[in-house]
Amino acid sequence: MTARRWFVLVGAVAGLIAMVAWIGEIDLGIDNSLSAPPGSQPLPSDQSSGNQP
């Protein structure tokens, strides 16, 4: 193989690795934003006062 083909091969492999890493990072970011800690959501106003009918 010539040096030009090696350069293209290395560039293609590096590009694929970068795309997979980018998609994985986006997936983890979405996962973290969708799963909130259990106690972080405020209660509705009728339940927080303790007065229920």
- What's the pLDDT score for residue 34? 77
What average pLDDT does the segment 27-43 reach?
A: 71
pLDDT surpassing 80 at residue 23: yes
As a whole number, the mean pLDDT across the chain is 80
Quick one: how many helices (H) and strands (E) in the chain? 2, 0
pLDDT digits (tens, 9 = 90+) for 1-21: 899 999 999 999 999 999 999
- What's the pLDDT score for residue 31? 80
